[in-house]
């Protein structure tokens, strides 16, 4: 039994007097913090990036899912504040961890952000606090990694503090689903923790779905993303096969999805991007080694999706040779869209970066245009691309390119203007969906 007053904690959640802390104010943490404040809680956001703190204090949102108006309302009301002073964690009753969980170069889980954050919490942990992990990870992380670190303080999980897991389900750029309306999976280490998490998230989002263990909740998130990765790999493989047969994969999928049962449409692309789909499945493949069990579907899906950028550049080189008699090594290529997904500025794991790298490996010159990404920031994998800037889509600029490669189909792009370029590689079916036709367009 908890040594603190569980009923009082639940009452403080119900009355909105419980104070929440959100660590990591990125694509997951900031929307959660603002949504929690909007439901009446006092929220402190923690981040080690000073520009984020400055922006929040000024009421400027750097995440599309959070409008300036929504952020300003909570800051002005005093319900949301941001800080890099982690000593303020002691003031929080509920602490939610929303930090990155990337992969190492060898595709092993990199939990350095999670462990560093947990140690920062442990240094300030007090009886009665509730710690929640939202970062995607392998089953067992909450119990096997966080709990021992927190218990090094001498406090005991389930007796002195509560611990749980609730996977994030943000979908950047999706205007139909935002934090408060997406059902929330919750699980705790013990019944008391599960009750508290259900009460807290139930006060923030419309629907809460409790599951039996934190390992189950961790597995739920991985299953969702593996489902997408495998199905995207399947349609990417079909794209290559059907293309060889002279069949348009986009027409096939559009026709297949008219079936009202037994089919769900997935679409091909130039590769996988984002922080979830290209990364999360490998957290499970890594964990599976502990049980000496293979994950063949997951690993094969990864191989297929990882091969797509080179397939696309291969089609580009072939089209340049056939259509204009120019080798890729002598060509200038404009990549449309640097973000991994349409209508967002997020470039994490974007295949566009890989496309640019491969084009230049083969001797070509590459530039990009993206209305959401003015300049390529520092990345771990593509340091050589840092500082490159988006070019304008003027007639003069377009006339200087031998080919256009549509990697991300942002709505703001003037696709009709792109038809002036001799070779057009369309990986998103962007032109057909806008009823723009030309012999220069090649789907890849």
**Residues identified as active-site:** 276
Q: How far apart are CA 322 and CA 119, in angstroms?
A: 59
Residue 443 CA to its chain's centroid (Å): 26
Q: How far apart are CA 390 and CA 34, in angstroms?
A: 31
Angle (CA) 52-57-60 rounded to 5° is: 65
Give the position of tokens 């949504």: 35
Burial 340-379 (b: 16+ CB within 10 A, else e): bbbbbbbbbbbbbbbbbbbbeebebbbbbbbbbbeebeee
Give the position of tokens 């200087």: 400
Identify whether the C-beta of residue 395 lies closer than 8 Å to the C-beta of residue 363: no
Sheet holding 162-165, edge to edge: 80-83, 42-46, 19-23, 94-97, 130-133, 162-165, 184-188, 208-210
Helix (H, G, I), strand (E, B) or coil at 182: coil
Contacting residues for 131 by C-beta, under 8 A, at least 6 apart: 95, 97, 118, 121, 125, 146, 150, 161, 162, 163, 164
Q: How far apart are CA 118 and CA 97, in angstroms?
A: 8
Give the position of tokens 């930090």: 99
Q: How far apart are CA 21 and CA 85, in angstroms?
A: 12
Within 266-343, residue ranges assigned H as helices are 281-288, 296-324
Q: How far apart are CA 172 and CA 350, in angstroms?
A: 14
Within 154-280, residue ranges assigned H as helices are 191-202, 214-244, 249-256
């Amino acid at each position: 039994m908890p040594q603190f007053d569980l009923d009082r904690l639940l009452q403080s959640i119900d009355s909105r007097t419980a104070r929440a802390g959100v660590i990591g104010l990125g694509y997951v943490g900031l929307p959660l913090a603002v949504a929690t404040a909007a439901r009446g809680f006092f929220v402190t956001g923690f981040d080690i990036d000073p520009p984020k703190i400055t922006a929040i204090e000024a009421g400027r949102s750097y995440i599309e899912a959070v409008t300036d108006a929504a952020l300003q309302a909570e800051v002005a009301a005093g319900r949301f504040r941001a800080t890099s002073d982690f000593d303020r964690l002691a003031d929080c009753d509920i602490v939610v961890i929303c930090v990155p969980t990337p992969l190492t170069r060898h595709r092993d889980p990199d939990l350095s952000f999670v462990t560093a954050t947990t140690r920062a919490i442990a240094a300030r942990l007090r009886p009665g606090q509730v710690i929640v992990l939202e970062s995607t990870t392998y089953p067992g992380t909450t119990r096997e990694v966080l709990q021992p670190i927190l218990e090094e303080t001498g406090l005991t999980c389930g007796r002195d503090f509560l611990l749980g897991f609730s996977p994030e389900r943000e979908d950047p750029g999706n205007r139909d689903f935002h934090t408060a309306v997406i059902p929330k999976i919750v699980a705790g280490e013990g019944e008391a923790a599960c009750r508290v998490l259900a009460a807290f998230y139930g006060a923030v989002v419309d629907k809460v779905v409790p599951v039996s263990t934190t390992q189950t909740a961790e597995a739920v998130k991985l299953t969702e993303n593996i489902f997408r990765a495998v199905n995207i790999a399947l349609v990417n493989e079909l794209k290559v096969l059907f293309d060889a047969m002279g069949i348009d994969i986009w027409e096939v999928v559009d026709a297949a999805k008219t079936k009202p049962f037994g089919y769900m449409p997935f679409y091909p692309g130039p590769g996988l991007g984002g922080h979830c789909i290209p990364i999360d499945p490998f957290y499970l493949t890594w964990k599976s080694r502990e049980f000496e069990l293979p994950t063949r579907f997951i690993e094969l899906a990864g191989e297929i999706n990882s091969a797509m950028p080179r397939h696309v550049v291969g089609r580009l080189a072939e089209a340049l040779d056939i259509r204009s008699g120019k080798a890729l090594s002598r060509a200038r290529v404009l990549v449309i869209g640097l973000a991994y997904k349409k209508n967002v500025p997020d470039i994490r794991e974007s295949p566009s970066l890989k496309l640019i790298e491969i084009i230049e490996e083969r001797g070509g010159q590459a530039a990009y245009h993206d209305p959401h990404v003015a300049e390529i920031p520092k990345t771990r994998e593509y340091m050589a691309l840092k500082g490159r800037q988006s070019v304008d889509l003027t007639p003069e600029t377009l006339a200087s390119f031998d080919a256009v490669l549509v990697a991300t189909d942002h709505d703001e792009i003037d696709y009709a203007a792109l038809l002036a370029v001799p070779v057009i590689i369309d990986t998103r079916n962007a032109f057909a969906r806008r009823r723009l036709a030309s012999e220069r367009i090649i789907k890849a």
